[in-house]
């Protein structure tokens, strides 16, 4: 299991290949990559803040839950912070399991958690100034299924 909270971009291809190669006993690998939406060109940038240590502990705990709940061989979460432009990769989740159903379910669980509850604060910068991104009702509702 690996978690990285980082400001630097990541190489999706290299991360995916390395994860799959290291997933001994897996019959399925699921990956998801989140990309900063540019809101039709209206987004100049997104700034993501976090508290080092607290963020890693919170995400690590949810990764532990995923590992315990589903039959996973491995899990990976990469989440960026700092200033990101529209179109940049913001996060990656990968899960590996002997069977695809567990890999998909665990990946969705991790993505739902990261979207709604991970301790990141996001601010969108646009032509009208800066706006903090608020939690959406549909994101909170997605957590209820778990």
pTM across the whole model: 0.93
Write down the pLDDT at residue 139.
80
Sorted by sequence, the CB contacts under 8 Å of residue 24 that are 6+ apart come out as 73
Q: d(Cα 107, Cα 103) in Å, to the nearest integer? A: 6
Q: Is 32 in contact with 93 (CB distance < 8 Å)? A: yes
DSSP state of 34: E
pLDDT digits (tens, 9 = 90+) for 27-82: 999 999 999 998 888 899 999 999 999 999 999 999 999 999 999 999 999 999 99
pLDDT digits (tens, 9 = 90+) for 83-102: 999 999 999 999 999 999 99
Domain ranges of the chain: 2-145
Q: d(Cα 92, Cα 12) in Å, to the nearest integer? A: 8
* Four-way CATH pick for 2-145: 3.60.15.10, 3.90.550.10, 3.90.1150.10, 3.90.1170.40: 3.90.1170.40
């Amino acid at each position: 299991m690996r978690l990285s909270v980082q400001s630097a971009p990541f190489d999706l291809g290299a991360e995916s290949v390395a994860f799959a190669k290291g997933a001994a006993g897996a019959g399925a690998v699921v990956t998801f990559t989140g990309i900063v939406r540019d809101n039709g060109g209206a987004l100049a940038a997104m700034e993501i803040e976090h508290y080092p240590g607290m963020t890693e502990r919170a995400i690590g705990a949810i990764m532990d839950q995923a590992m315990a709940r589903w039959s996973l061989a491995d899990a990976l979460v990469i989440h960026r912070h700092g200033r990101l432009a529209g179109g940049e990769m913001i996060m990656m989740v990968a899960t590996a399991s002997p069977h695809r159903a567990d890999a998909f379910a665990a990946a969705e669980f991790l993505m739902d958690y990261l979207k709604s509850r991970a301790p990141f604060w996001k601010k969108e910068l646009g032509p009208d100034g800066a706006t903090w991104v608020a939690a959406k009702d549909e994101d909170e509702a997605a957590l209820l299924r778990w």
